[in-house]
Amino acid sequence: MNSSSQSSSRAPERQPQSSTTWLKGSHAPQTAERVLSWGRYPKTEHRQVYKPAWNDQVPEILKAAAPASLLPFGLGRSYGDSCLNAGRDLIDCHRLNRMLGFDESAGVVRCEGGVSLSDILRVFLPKGWFLPVTPGTSFVTVGGAIANDVHGKNHHCAGTFGAHVHQIALYRSDNGLVFCSSRENAEMLRATIGGLGLTGVIAWADIQLKRVDGPWIDSESIPFHGLKTFLDLSHESNDRFEYTVAWLDCFAGRSVRGIFFRGNHAANYRKNFHPKGGPKLPFELPSWILNRFSVRAFNAAYYAIHVAKKRGAIVPYDPFFYPLDSIRQWNLLYGRQGFLQYQCVIPESNLDAFEELLDRIARSGMGSFFVVLKQFGSAPPAGMLSFPRPGLTITLDFAMRGERTLGLLRSLDEVVQKSGGALYPAKDARMSPALFETSFPNWRDFLPYKDPKMSSSFWRRVTGLP
């Protein structure tokens, strides 16, 4: 259905939103609009979704809003409810996607909050610039990347996305357009980085790009057994490789096995690069498709394929950074009930807790389709509520199977809480207020910077505040 042009085949797919209203006549007011996050759980109705096409329309929306009623929304790639505002309003920012300036000598681009990372790559990679930090999908907005202070495979050397934001302009409901940088309103900048959209609407941000030689990554994949081996590999690689990450077969239990990926931008590799579009899942698959046997088989096959593969190769950047972006709407794989992602960080000194975590998952029999493991670096957090901190972070997906899934996740919470770890709000739809408190003990410092007209489902759930 979609055309073959480069721009449309690589364009960010928007979350399908079904309007529940069948109103006759034009411009009838929308009563409720269903907007889902990437996990498609929880199922939320919103009162109204504003879709400004220009930055100059944002102040009117803020002015007219009631206290604690709004939340900016990007491409809906947060997994849980941190990008949702059930029963209240959203400001869908995807049309605010213009690049307003580029300082070529410094490599700094100024773009509106709704510009997607894939858009930045499409424009700037051919000119020899790359994102300073990128998460596992390029279909996120700059605003979302700042609001969640996202991290990537280079966290050990580059820190988080927020560390590369020089300046932002923020629409506040109480103060108009506020400029924030390390020189003015520095605390507001720190609050907005990782601030889950609650400090206002980002009008534009200045992002520091990184010089690269081309779109190619010099990568290696190394099979490993055991957490200890993973850590050795990670320690050894972190000095020599800009990007490191591991995939884990969660069915192996305590005898962990996986594939360690590491890579650098390939220098002086001049092969023609043709970006490819991929298939698209057209609808929700029946939820029985992902069962413990199919997931186990997938994990075994994935492992076997990578063991058989050549260890080193020069690959395009997109399968290296964004393996899942090639299947659009892959989240429909989990069926009608959706899925929950679980990402925690556990201090490295506490490897026992980590093994306990893996053990509980293996014993539950609820395997995760795709498990990712990464050692965070020691860079100081860029934002007040930034998630990354020194330690090991693991990311798991679980199909939503009601109480069975929630029960397992609660039992994982216990381990995280005891170990002094933390949970990632961008992935969460159900953490308890107590675990939020453990994860972000200084969250009350954030309160003075929160915009009084902003709120989110996540915020209300974990803080109990409006």
User: Is 421 in contact with 353 (CB distance < 8 Å)?
Assistant: yes
Q: How far apart are CA 389 and CA 385, in angstroms?
A: 11
Distance CA 55, CA 86 (A): 24
Nearer to another protein, 110 or 374 (CB): 110
- The CB-of-100 to another protein minimum distance in angstroms stands at 5
Contacts (CB under 8 A) with another protein, residues 102-141: 102, 104, 109, 112, 123, 126-128
Our CA dihedral for 30, 53, 91, 443, rounded to 10 degrees, sits at 180
Measured from the CB of residue 316, what is the shortest distance to another protein in angstroms? 13
- The nearest distance, CB 31 to another protein, in angstroms, is 11
In sequence order, what are the residues at sequence separation of 6 or more whose Cβ sits closer than 8 angstroms to the Cβ of residue 453? 62, 65, 66, 67, 68, 69, 70, 173, 174
175 lies in the site for another protein, by CB under 8 A: no
Choose which of 32, 99, 157, 252 interacts with another protein (CB under 8 A): 99
How far is residue 14's CA from residue 270's CA, in Å, rounded to a whole number? Answer: 33
Closest CB to another protein among residues 100, 324 = 100
Question: Given the complex with another protein, which of 28 and 64 has the nearer CB atom?
Answer: 28
Site string for another protein, 299-338 (x = CB under 8 A): ----------------------------------------
Instruction: Check if the beta carbon of residue 133 is closer than 8 Å to that of residue 105.
Output: no
Pull the structure tokens for residue 400. Answer: 């939503």
CB 275 to another protein: min, Å: 7
- C-alpha to C-alpha distance for 273 and 271, rounded to whole angstroms: 6
> Looking at 32, 86, 100, 362, which residue binds another protein (CB under 8 A)?
100
Q: What is the DSSP letter of 116?
A: B
For residues 268 to 287, the per-residue mask of contacts with another protein, x marking binding by CB under 8 A and - elsewhere, is ----xxxx------------
Q: Which is nearer to another protein, 63 or 270 (CB)?
A: 270
Nearest to 172 by CA among 376, 391, 405, 452: 452
Choices 160-168, 193-201, 266-274, 310-318 (CB under 8 A): range interacting with another protein: 266-274
Please, which of residues 368-427 interact with another protein by CB under 8 A?
A: none
Q: How many CB atoms lie within 10 A of CB 220?
A: 16
Sign for the CA dihedral angle at 154, 84, 278, 126 comes to: negative
Nearer to another protein, 102 or 302 (CB): 102
Q: How long is the chain?
A: 466
Residues 5-44 that bind another protein (CB under 8 A): 5-8, 11, 16-19, 21-30
Q: Given the complex with another protein, which of 7 and 442 has the nearer CB atom?
A: 7
The number of beta carbons lying within 10 Å of the beta carbon of residue 47 is 15
Residue closest to 227 by CA, chosen among 411, 350, 136, 323: 350
Interaction residues for another protein, span 44-83 (CB under 8 A): 51, 53-56
Task: Give per-residue burial for 223-243: e unless 16+ CB within 10 Å, then b.
Answer: bbeebebbbebbeebbeebbb
Nearer to another protein, 12 or 194 (CB): 12
Where along the sequence are the contacts to another protein (CB under 8 A)?
A: 2-3, 5-8, 11, 16-19, 21-30, 51, 53-56, 95, 98-102, 104, 109, 112, 123, 126-128, 272-275
